[in-house]
């Protein structure tokens, strides 16, 4: 129906334009199109970013593919919200150009629990259906997403638009995700910087150019968003160990930005996008402000000399690293979580790494750098990734890198950045600057509790929650001791953020 209306609109526009002098047309005609699925740019894998103003874009409307141009106004604002396989409401002008795009809210999303003649139940929500309800399946593939007609089945995951439903899309719907460790937006402390850096660990995949904007010159919307982007969570959960960030043999089937065209900027994070997102979430408490994403090789020096957040140096040893230091090397940037007794470093970064099935994927993770794989940092990285991020660790082994390769400085802008521990940088009321890597990890994961190690994991599995969340509940019990009675079972379904707020409350009143 929408396609027929749009075709009639375009024909009518052509007739009017032929019959009416251009100077007499004072009002621009537009057509509203609901629930269109974005499928990607025409010619993906061959188009050059230099020709971006002439790109054409594929959308599925009522199951049929249609091609549009997209307005480049407001610094490519529309391009910077487009994401393949997602649904948009479009405004199209008389030149077949999209001049506005919005993301509609589904009436329901999740698993179909039951189907009757005139209704379906989706994730506990009853949705009316009728003969006018269309059903399609969205199929996401690198460079070749598509939509096809389908039918409703119990157990399928869907997004529903309208009630009664005008359209039901069979598509991947991610499970709700709560970070094991999370930061507090806008809290400028060293501990919060590292806690914030932990949020995407084990749940965000590596995309070259990920979290850079669509035009590949600065921060994406995701990079200036408080909290984890849903598109990152969707992409990680919808993939497995066969994901590869780069298909060098076939650019049309690759997530890599061939010829600098960054189609999948929204799906994951690269190294500089990751550090930029962390910094934004520590320095801001609302989305949409100026971001920090920039060249990985210059980040450390820029933080010191442009933002005046701290100091930059090329004169250091492994033992001079501190928690929260940022290191820029050629083509990469990483965050030091802490130094071990043997001089090895536990680091946080987004990096490509091979899965157990041999596919180059990877993403945001804890890693160890040192003289050999026998170092303490690598052992800690392995332990914490396996303990707290089992879905990740089922796909990827922990990463080790040599100290010499990760502290290379062949030019005058790479080097180590350290925070000013005052109002100009980050405060350190928790004493993190003097902690070892192991001490930082234990504190971030709230491990100074009743249970530790294997016992904690087994108890968490029994309750159906993460070990990190169980640790927090025990921490809440400790904080409330003598003030209130806290039962583990009462807090299983509460959010991590709510538990953290309660901990702070009882610390104040006790």
Concatenated DSSP letters of 319-384: GG--TT-EEEETTEEEEEEEE-TTS-EEEEEEE--B-TTS-B--EEEEEEEESSTTSHHHHHHHHH
Q: Are 388 and 453 in contact (CB under 8 A)?
A: no
- 98 and 142 inside one domain: no
Number of domains in the chain: 4
- Domain edge (last residue) among 428, 443, 458: 443
Backbone region of residue 358 per phi and psi (left: phi > 0; alpha: psi in -120 to 50; beta: other values): left
Residues in the chain with pLDDT values less than 70: 1-28, 448-454, 468, 497, 510
The predicted structure's pLDDT at residue 423: 97
Query: What CATH number did the domain enclosing 130 receive?
Result: 2.40.50
The answer to whether position 175 is within a domain reads: no
Of the candidates 43, 35, 99, 84, the one whose C-alpha atom is nearest the C-alpha of residue 64 is: 35
Q: What are phi and psi of 357, to 5 degrees?
A: -90, 5
Claim to verify: residue 389 and residue 291 sit in the same structural domain? yes
- Tens of pLDDT, residues 422-456: 999 999 999 999 999 999 999 999 886 555 555 77
- Return d(Cα 315, Cα 337) in angstroms, integer: 19
Q: Is residue 79 located within the same domain as residue 219? A: no
Helices 376-388 and 437-444, interaxial angle, to 10°? 10
Three-state SS annotation for 295-312 = CHHHHHHHHHHCCCCEEE
- Tell me the β-bridge partners of 366: 348
Q: Is the peptide bond before 168 cis (omega within 30 degrees of 0)?
A: no
Please state, in angstroms and rounded to a whole number, the distance separating the CA atoms of residues 183 and 186: 9
Integer Cα distance of 73 and 406 in angstroms: 41
Q: Tell me the C-alpha to C-alpha distance, in Å, between residue 371 and each of 282, 327, 403, 417.
A: 32, 18, 6, 22
- List CB contacts of 160: < 8 A, sequence separation 6 or more: 106, 107, 108, 109, 120, 122, 127, 167, 168, 169
Q: Which DSSP category does 425 fall into?
A: S
Residues 231 and 277 in one domain: yes
pLDDT at 128: 97
Q: 34 lies in a domain? A: yes
Q: What is the 3-state secondary structure (H, E, C) of 71-96?
A: CCHHHHCCCCCCCCCCEEEEEEECCC
Global pTM reads: 0.85
pLDDT digits (tens, 9 = 90+) for 239-250: 999 999 999 899
Report if residue 176 sits inside a domain: no
pLDDT at position 20 is 34
pLDDT digits (tens, 9 = 90+) for 327-342: 999 999 999 999 999 9
82 and 129 in a single domain? The answer is no
For 501, residues 6+ apart whose C-beta sits below 8 A from its C-beta are none
Q: Mark which of 398, 426, 443 sits at the end of a domain.
A: 443
Residue 179 lies in a domain: no
344, 483: one domain: no
Task: Note whether 366 and 478 are same-domain residues.
Answer: no
One domain for residues 381 and 468: no
Residues 98 and 224 in one domain: no
Number of H helices, E strands in the chain: 13, 19
- Residue 15 confidence (pLDDT): 35
Last residue of a domain, one of 102, 134, 161: 102
On whether both 82 and 112 belong to a single domain, the answer is no
pLDDT for the residue 505: 84
Which range marks the domain in which residue 499 is found?
A: 446-509
- Nearby residues of 87 by Cβ (< 8 Å), 6 or more positions away: 35, 36, 37, 103, 104, 106, 159, 161, 169
Domain annotation covers residue 183 = no
């Amino acid at each position: 129906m929408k396609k027929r209306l749009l075709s009639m609109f375009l024909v009518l526009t052509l007739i009017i334009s032929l019959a009416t002098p251009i100077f007499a047309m004072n009002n621009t005609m537009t057509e509203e199109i609901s629930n269109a699925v974005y499928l990607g740019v025409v010619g993906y894998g061959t188009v050059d970013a230099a020709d971006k103003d002439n790109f054409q874009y594929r959308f599925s409307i009522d199951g049929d593919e249609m091609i549009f141009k997209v307005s480049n106004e407001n610094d490519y604002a529309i391009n910077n919200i487009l994401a393949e396989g997602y649904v948009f409401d479009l405004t199209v002008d008389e030149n077949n150009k999209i001049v506005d795009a919005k993301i509609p809210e589904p009436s329901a999303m999740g698993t179909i629990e039951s189907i009757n003649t005139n209704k379906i139940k989706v994730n506990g929500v009853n949705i009316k259906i009728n003969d006018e309800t269309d059903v399609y399946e969205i199929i996401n593939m690198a460079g070749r997403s598509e939509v096809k007609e389908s039918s409703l089945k119990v157990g399928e995951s869907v997004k529903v638009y309208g009630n009664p439903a005008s359209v039901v899309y069979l598509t991947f719907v991610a499970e709700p995700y709560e970070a094991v460790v999370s930061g507090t937006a806008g809290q400028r402390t060293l501990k919060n910087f590292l806690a914030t850096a932990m949020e995407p660990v084990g749940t965000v995949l590596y995309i070259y150019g990920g979290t850079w904007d669509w035009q590949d010159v600065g921060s994406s919307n995701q990079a200036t968003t408080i909290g984890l982007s849903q598109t990152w969570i969707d992409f990680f959960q919808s993939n497995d160990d066969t994901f590869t960030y780069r298909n060098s043999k076939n650019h049309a089937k690759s997530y890599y930005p061939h010829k600098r065209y960054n189609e999948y900027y929204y799906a994951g994070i690269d190294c500089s996008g990751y550090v930029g997102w962390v910094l934004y979430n520590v320095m801001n408490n609302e989305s949409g402000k100026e971001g920090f994403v920039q060249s990985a090789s210059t980040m450390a020096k820029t933080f010191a000399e442009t933002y005046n957040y701290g100091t930059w140096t090329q004169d250091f040893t492994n033992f001079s690293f501190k928690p929260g230091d940022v290191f820029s090397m050629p083509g990469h940037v990483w965050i030091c979580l802490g130094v071990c007794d043997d001089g090895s470093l536990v680091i946080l970064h987004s990096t490509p790494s091979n899965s157990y099935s041999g596919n180059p994927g990877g993403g945001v993770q804890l890693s160890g750098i040192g003289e050999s794989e026998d170092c303490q940092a690598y052992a800690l990285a392995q332990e914490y990734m396996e303990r707290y991020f089992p879905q990740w660790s089922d796909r990827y082994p922990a990463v080790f890198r040599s100290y010499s390769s990760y502290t290379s400085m062949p030019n005058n802008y790479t080097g180590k950045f350290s925070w000013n521990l005052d109002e100009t940088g980050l405060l350190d009321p928790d004493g993190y600057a003097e902690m070892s890597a192991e001490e930082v990890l234990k504190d971030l994961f709230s491990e100074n509790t009743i249970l530790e190690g294997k016992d904690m994991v087994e108890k968490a599995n029994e309750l159906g929650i993460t070990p990190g969340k169980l640790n927090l509940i025990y921490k809440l019990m400790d904080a409330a001791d003598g003030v209130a009675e806290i039962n583990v079972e009462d807090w299983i379904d509460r959010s991590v953020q709510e538990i953290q707020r309660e901990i702070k409350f009882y610390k104040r009143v006790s």
